[in-house]
């Protein structure tokens, strides 16, 4: 297939580029490098099955020739990024999704939206099922990301209902692995960097808030399986193994053999207290569930960070 990936130079997007090329597909990576990096894809330059186009997808997207699949993964995705880039985050969720859908409609391609567990906000149910509508503060500092993705889902469903575009929507839960940025602001790179440098590991609140961590290869496997299923509703992709942030900090200390102390700071506004996917639908529709154990995935991720710290 000929596959377009917006945000293909980002953390997840670049792993998708590698995986799809390994499966024999031709990949067109479209990225303006706002939060993506050429380092994530430079090993693909010269590959006959790879093409990079530097472009802001909030503008019209022109791709010559046929396109079989459009994967829309372009967006700032960490709190640091979308708090520093609020307008760009909203624009790529709205205008970027519109332009990417327009490309899929024009080419009669399958369209997949990379949505997020953040559409559930600070959830009042745990685990979160796809039929839960969420608890989101639309005018809070995190609202720019949460609502951008919620709007994107609504637009994707509108294109499916009105224009008959063959769509997929994945709600991604905390994913980690090599190629995350050191200054990403998310808990995995933060804790690993602090531990490797023997700096104080910063836990917000009392560390009782929970997260569920999915290794990137598991996520990519789920994405690929969904491409071949005619399933047009949102589907959770993540690891249902839940742990507190404090437990996670202690695990990072143990694996890295760090001398870091754990310190506590005030909880950021609207920080979700629980985050755990119900993956019943993914198991049923895709015969998918995560395989990589947290300790194994973290060991690989830490090895990557040791090279760049």
The distance from CA 226 to its chain's CA centroid, rounded to whole angstroms, is 15
| For residues 261-284, average pLDDT | 90
Q: How far is it, in rounded angstroms, from Cα 309 to Cα 306? A: 5
192: Cα within 13 Å, side-chain hemisphere? 27
pLDDT at res. 106: 98
- Residue 145 and residue 269 in contact, taking contact as beta carbons nearer than 8 Å: no
The pLDDT, as a whole number, for residue 65 is: 96
Distance, CA of 78 to CA of 173 (rounded, Å): 12
| pLDDT per residue as tens digits for the range 114-165 | 999 999 999 999 999 999 999 999 999 999 999 999 999 999 999 999 999 9
pLDDT, residue 8, reads 98
N-terminal to C-terminal alpha carbon distance within the chain: 37
The mean of the pLDDT values for the chain is 95
pLDDT tens sequence across 287-306: 999 999 999 999 999 999 99
232, two tokens: 């047009």
Per-residue pLDDT tens over the stretch 188-245: 999 999 999 999 999 998 899 999 999 999 999 999 999 999 999 999 999 999 999 9
Q: How far is CA 265 from the centre of its chain?
A: 26
The mean pLDDT value for 74-97 works out to 95
CATH architecture of 2-177+214-239+276-291: 3-Layer(aba) Sandwich (3.40)
Residue 306 preceded by cis peptide, ω within 30:
no
Distance CA 74, CA 4 (A): 11
**Per-residue pLDDT for 64 more than 90?**
yes
Task: Give the pLDDT of residue 282.
Answer: 98
- Catalytically active residues, by annotation: 145
**CA–CA distance, 81 with 92 (Å, rounded to integer):** 13
Domain boundaries, the chain: 2-177+214-239+276-291
Is 90 exceeded by the pLDDT of residue 271?
no
Distances from the Cα of 186 to the Cα of 25, 141, 183, 213, 247, angstroms? 31, 16, 8, 12, 16
- pLDDT tens-digit profile of 10-20? 999 999 999 99
> Contact, 60 vs 6, CB < 8 A?
no
pTM of the model: 0.95
Q: Distance of CA 165 to CAs 155, 223, 240, Å?
A: 11, 18, 31
Q: How sure is the predictor about 9, in pLDDT bands with cuts at 50, 70 and 90?
A: very high
pLDDT of amino acid 201: 94
Burial of 1 (0-12, 13-18, 19+ CB in 10 A): middle
């Amino acid at each position: 297939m000929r596959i377009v990936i917006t945000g293909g130079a980002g953390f997840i997007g670049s792993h998708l580029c590698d995986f799809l090329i390994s499966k024999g597909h031709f990949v067109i990576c479209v990225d303006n490098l706002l939060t993506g990096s050429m380092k994530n894809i430079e090993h693909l330059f010269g590959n006959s099955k790879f093409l990079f186009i530097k472009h802001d997808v909030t503008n019209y997207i022109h791709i010559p020739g046929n396109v079989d699949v459009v994967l829309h993964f372009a967006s700032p995705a960490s709190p640091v990024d979308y708090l520093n880039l609020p307008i760009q985050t909203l624009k790529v969720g709205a205008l970027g999704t519109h332009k990417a859908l327009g490309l899929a409609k024009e080419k009669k391609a399958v369209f997949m939206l990379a949505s997020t567990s953040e559409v559930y906000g600070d959830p009042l149910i745990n685990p979160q099922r796809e039929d839960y509508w969420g608890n989101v503060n639309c005018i809070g500092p995190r609202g720019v990301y949460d609502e951008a993705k919620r709007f994107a889902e609504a637009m994707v469903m509108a294109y499916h209902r009105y224009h008959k575009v063959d769509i997929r929507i994945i709600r991604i839960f905390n994913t980690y692995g090599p190629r995350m940025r050191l200054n990403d602001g998310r808990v995995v790179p933060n804790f690993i960097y602090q531990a490797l440098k023997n700096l104080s590991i910063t836990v917000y609140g009392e560390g009782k808030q929970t997260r569920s961590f999915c290794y990137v290869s598991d996520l990519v496997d789920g994405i690929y399986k969904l491409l071949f299923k005619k399933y047009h509703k949102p589907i959770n992709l993540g690891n249902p193994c839940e742990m507190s942030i404090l437990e996670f900090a202690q695990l990072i200390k143990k694996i890295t053999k760090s001398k870091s102390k754990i310190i506590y700071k005030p909880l950021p506004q609207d920080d979700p207290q629980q985050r755990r996917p119900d993956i019943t639908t993914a198991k049923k529709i895709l015969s998918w569930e995560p395989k990589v154990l947290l300790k194994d995935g973290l060991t690989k991720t830490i090895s990557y960070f040791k090279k760049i710290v």
